[in-house]
Amino acid sequence: MQDNQQEAVSCVDRCREMLLRLPKEAKVLRLLARVYLELDCQTYQDKALVAVCLANKEYLEPAGIYLKIRILLKTGTVDELVKSELKELLDSEVELDVCLTTVKLLIAEDRETLAFNYLNMVCKHFESSPEVGSALVLHIELLLMKGKDLLAKMKIEDAISGHFTGRQLSPNNLTSLHLLLWDKAARRIEDRNYYEALQWYNYSLSFHKAGELDQNLAKLQRNRASCFLYLQQIDKAKEAISEALKCDPNSVFTHFSVYKIAILENNIEKAVEAIGDIDVLSQKRASNEDELLVTENAATNLLILAAQIALDVTWNTALQCENNSVRMKEFFLLCYQTEILTQALECIQICWEIWRTLKTSGTYTRDQTDTLLLLYEFEARAKLNDPKLGSVLESILELENIDAKILETVASLAMRPPAHFPVVCKKALTIALSLHKQGPQADPTRCCYCLHTLIQLSLPSGVCEVDPRILEEVWGYYEEALAIISAASEDFPELEILWLLTRAWNTGILLYSLSQYTEAEKWCGLGISFLQHLGSMQDSYQTQMSGLYSEVLDKLDKAKKNQVME
């Protein structure tokens, strides 16, 4: 056919004439339509459509409808016509895999809106199917692919809550989701956004049950520990590595992480012990050659790297890296950046002295120099991980007529990598929120921005972070947010309401999984209270959440009765 297109077309036309004289067979007609489609859909689109329509009229089945959708997409048909075929496909006895293939086809043909709308319909249609998890994982994958991280996070949190309330993902789907989350975290690490990388790893961790022991879980905990180390949260890194040791005590990579933490803490005894463990484990082999605990090269490389880390703690390391110019450059650059920030602080102190002298010789009632100098000092100290950062914030708070926007800037600087000062950030945002509410016309959007960040910083993301005191604090933030939304106009950002609803609901599900039934009911009820403020998405979420909430309440009542009987 490829060598002589005209002859091929002639043969196809003869086949068509023969088919029309023969009894109409849907399978053959679909084959004819597929030939037209693959030959040249633009030229033979009418013939392709006629053939597939005849086939579907003769015998309607999912394969025929799917083929018609392919032809319509190739010919640039408007969304409304394609949408009617998608609905017909869903109404037929179609399998979930065919629907998911159709979604991928829509994405490939740049019909993004149509694809996501159809995927929502598919999830609802197959909600009682044990394989609906495949649709959920695909939905998350497509959202991440299109850069819609916030919506993806909401879907992931739905998956986490469902995983522990009877809608458990299959092992294959769970593996696929873990791979997506780890890949997203790895990309954030490449961007040096370690805080967000940690969030993606924490989502992966949330699918593991407490006490679970698995080598993949050990690797996950090591990855989390690395993020904590980049964020200079050594205590949390130690907790993660402790969990990794429980899961896989024979991993040289885990013991190497123990070594790195010991070096940072200047714990020479612990560092030497970790090096000894790596050396011993590097000599061990499993009975089966295919099941080596660790290759000799990997262990040797870790020992070499451990030695390099010990040297890198001093400036002399750079001088000893003459055979590795790239490493020398990176270390010198790190030292240079530290020096520049230190010099910047010295310059700021000189500016303070000049400014104090100027203020004694005149009046500068509306001058913003104090504010600018404090902001510059705050940013420099934050990047240097300076413990004096809190005192700089206190100086900012002592300014006359302090602006809420300045405090929001301070909060942002406190959490911008490499800085990580959540306590300072929360204090600045709390005062900013108070200032917003004191104004004659409080901006509900800015108020909710402050509350959003406060909730995000405080709300537990996993089993090990649940603290009654923190939950009480976050509950107060939620009450404020609900009051602001209730008093606001109808054009309040719907995604923000949905985010608040989802986090409250998932906190309730987390507490339920921990058998904290009273608190679980309280937090699920809080999530339900946001439903009335949703606009276009209200009906969809109300149906889904009301049913699940009733189920949760029933289980809570049974659990309470069991507790009473015990």
Q: Quickly list DSSP for 219-280.
A: HHHHHHHHHHHHTT-HHHHHHHHHHHHHH-TT-HHHHHHHHHHHHHTT-HHHHHHHHHHHHH
Nearest to 501 by CA among 450, 558, 544: 544
Which pLDDT value is given to residue 403?
A: 87
- Model confidence at 395, pLDDT cuts 50, 70, 90, reads very high
HSE, CB side, 13 Å, CA atoms: give it for residue 129. Answer: 15
pLDDT band at 182 (very low <50, low <70, confident <90, very high): very high
* Buried/exposed 220-258: b ≥16 CB within 10 Å, e otherwise: bbbbbbbbbbbbebeebbbbbbebbbebbebbbbbbbbb
Q: What is the DSSP letter of 169?
A: P
Q: Provide the pLDDT for residue 295.
A: 46
Return the exposure string of 367-400: e unless at least 16 CB atoms fall within 10 Å of the residue's CB, then b: eeebbebbbebbbbbbbbebeebeebbeebeeee
Lowest-confidence region among 66-70, 110-114, 331-335, 423-427: 331-335
Question: In this structure, which amino acid lies at residue 196?
Answer: E
Q: What's 24's DSSP letter?
A: P
Look up the CATH architecture of domain 208-313. Answer: Alpha Horseshoe (1.25)
Mean pLDDT, range 153-180, rounded to an integer:
87
Residue 214: partners with Cβ closer than 8 Å, 6 or more residues away: 208, 247
443-566 in CATH: which number?
1.25.40
> What is the pLDDT at residue 294?
42
> Per-residue pLDDT for 23 more than 50?
no
Please state at what angle helix 112-125 crosses helix 79-91, rounded to 10 degrees.
Answer: 20
CB 251 within 8 A of CB 294: yes
The whole-model pTM stands at 0.50
Those residues whose C-beta lies under 8 Å from the C-beta of residue 180, and which sit 6 or more positions away, are 137, 140, 141, 144
Is pLDDT larger for residue 244 or for residue 60?
A: 244
Q: Which carries the bigger pLDDT value, residue 40 or residue 2?
A: 40
Q: Range(s) for CATH 1.25.40.10 in the chain?
A: 208-313
* Gyration radius of the chain over CA positions: 31
Distance CA 279, CA 263 (A): 17
387: helix, strand or coil: coil
Helix (H/G/I), strand (E/B), else coil: 452: helix
Reply yes or no on whether the pLDDT at 305 is more than 60. Answer: no
User: What is the pLDDT confidence band of residue 19, given thresholds at 50, 70 and 90?
Assistant: low
Amino acid 203: pLDDT: 92
Q: Does residue 415 contact residue 195 with C-beta atoms inside 8 Å? A: yes
pLDDT of residue 201: 94
pLDDT at 311: 37
pLDDT band at 427 (very low <50, low <70, confident <90, very high): very high
| Selected residue with higher pLDDT from 449 and 49 | 449
Average pLDDT, the chain: 79
* Predicted pLDDT of residue 21: 46
pLDDT value of position 131: 83
Average pLDDT of the residues in 221-241: 91
* Residue-level pLDDT at 288: 36
**Per-residue pLDDT at 280 exceeds 80:** no
CB atoms within 10 A of CB 474: 23
What are the tokens at 33?
């339509």
Residues 479-489 have a mean pLDDT of 83
- Cα separation, 433 vs 425, in Å, equals 12
What is the residue type of 210?
Answer: A
Contact (CB, 8 A) for 382 and 413: yes
Map residue 416 onto helix, strand or coil.
coil
Contact 32, 24 (CB under 8 A): no
Give per-residue pLDDT as tens, 123-144: 888 888 888 888 888 999 999 9
pLDDT of residue 490: 64
Decide if pLDDT at 463 tops 60: no
For residue 12, the model assigns a pLDDT of 65
Mean predicted confidence (pLDDT) in 433-456? 85
- Residue 532: predicted pLDDT: 82
Name the range with the highest mean pLDDT among 186-200, 207-221, 333-347, 435-449.
Answer: 186-200
- Phi, psi (deg, nearest 5) at residue 537: -95, 0
Residue 410 has pLDDT above 90, yes or no: yes
**How many CB atoms within 10 Å of residue 490?**
7
Residue type at 290 in one-letter notation: D
Least confident of 189-198, 292-301, 461-470, 548-557: 292-301
- Closest of 420, 424, 446, 417 to residue 433, by C-alpha: 446
Q: Is the peptide bond before 418 cis (omega within 30 degrees of 0)?
A: yes
When mean pLDDT is compared across 13-22, 484-493, 530-539, the lowest value belongs to 13-22
- Give the pLDDT confidence score for residue 417 in this predicted structure: 84
